[in-house]
Chain A
Amino acid sequence: MRNAYLEALYDLAKNNRQIMSLNADIGAIVFDKFKADFPDQFINFGVAEPNMISAAAGMASCGKIPFTYTIMPFITMRTYEQIRNDVCLQKMNVKIVGVGAGLVYSTLGPTHHAIEDIAIMKVLPNMTILSPADPLEAKKATFAAAQIEGPVYLRLGTSKEPTVYQHDYDFTIGQGVKLKDGKDATIIATGSIIHDALQAVEELEKEKISVRLVNIHTIKPIDKEIILHAAGETKAILTLEEHNVEGGFGSSVAEVILEGNCPPVKFKRLGINDCFCSFYGTHQELKSHYGIAKEDIIREVINLYRQKGN
């Protein structure tokens, strides 16, 4: 996703000199081409993220369109009040781009994991939150972020995410994507973990359970319609996120369903179960250890399906 983001940013910067790539000393090599071709549109702020965000707001107030970029916990938590007061309160056209969603920086440990960012970013008024599933979607989300005049938080993975979208499609902010239709249950997910969900859905098909898969690439504003249709039509919802279940994406989906006057729905949030993740290994190994891997998804869908009386 990181490279897809950079390709999109390169195109944006080429066509609009107001686009600025701001960075807090992260991304060796990958920014080289951008720096070489647009030296006036790239600034490394050093290891000082709060200053980067406030300065980005100041630049935006003078017409610049800053894309600020660093590892996710540092760009969301170290800078939180700067994002709140200088960007969101004043509706500044600043893009907050975090790299390393969820547990993707597995071996770097809990300081580098991002499992609270959705919760804290979604409570900020005026913020749009984009959470792409694969590189193609990351590219589209970057272009879409530039189109919005106002704050955007872009939640990226890192590199080598598997492909979710086999074909081109229309990306519209605020509109979820039905990746697969199904009638027995729906998985509503966000981010690169959608790929695990796709695999789970294929295996569940073999068990004769027909599962709908919905990708929510815009966490805020959330697509209520696609959620309520899924709830009404399949009556079983599993939300899936690489994030703490507390206050996370699944909570947003639950709120939509509860306020949506749905018929009774079986519902479960699958995510990291309110703990820091100090287990080391590969990204996939961490997902398995913390119960958000393909097998966990399959198990939870079957549970919901049975609860419906099957």
Chain B
Amino acid sequence: MINRKPFFIELELTYRCSQQCFYCHNPPRDLKFYIDDKAPKPRSVIEMNELNLSEWISAIDQIKRLDEKYEGIMDVVVTGGEPLLRSDLEEILSYITRQKLSHMLLSSGEPISDDRITKLLESGLEKIRINLTSHKYVFNMQSLIMHIKNEVVKKINIAKKFKDFGVKEVGGNIVLTSYYLDFLEEIVELAYKSNLDWIEVNSVYKVGHGYINQKFIVPDPNDERTIQEKLKKLIEIYGEKFIQNYVDTDILYSRIPIPTNWGEVGLVIVPNGDIYPGSEATSIPLSKLGNIKNDSLIEIWFSYPLLNKIRSLSFLGEPCKSCEVKKLCRGGFRFNAYITKNDLFAPDPSCPIVKDYIGKS
């Protein structure tokens, strides 16, 4: 079914976090998905026992075996929650480096100190992406703009510090929520002047807390043209290498389904070692593929029935089975199927073709 390794293995070392991102994809504590109308729901993540250092080392040994035995290019993405909250992050990174695995750290950059940056560098850190947008201060509506700006400046300064200390590649991540839309140009300009290597602009994805808080964080549809024009202009000014634009407003406003990438892109290992087929899948207990302490990563990637079923598209019913773009859409977003039907294999109800089919039948 597939003859190459995944593009990346994501290690979510902890669900603890120093931030308050309303779009966080980590699974909410109660795993109940509803769209909150009253106020953004603060981040509150499911509790689980984290793997200890020796268990993560064993997990990395498995990743190494997958990397060396099979065709392709693979990265280890180290993230969380906030990975800096693991006091053994340096040991984990050192081990990944010693195994000669390509890796990247995704972090909010907090909490950090000069000493910690030095230790991370000594552990082999070469590539880090700092998340520039969180919502820590949005409950303070009186001085919201000032708090948002201060927060971004602080994050860019942290990113710059990583760069100044000698980390080779330092990028920034902007999740384009309604809170940040007005400041997009300012953030990008400051990041550019601070010598960051790239800025990713990502959409809000309606998964995890992003699903629950969508009414407050998805930019107003009336701003669609503004979003497109702002991004176009930024790419013209700074180039596609610096501005990595992943915003598709048709996806943002649920006009087209998000393609399923399970079984094609990567695997996610969550803090307790459970393995999932995607970052949004960590909110879907039905999509759990195993646990790194007991199961083989190689067997899961190449042979797990759920992944093969998704890869083969054999799960598709009508109208997807007969759809001319099924090989591109791949059945649409499984998170949507799960939360609306409690069924991993149901058609994605966000697709207009599915909506039309259901309306007629």
Q: Do A and B come from one complex?
A: no
- Which residues of B are interface residues toward A (Cβ below 8 A)? none
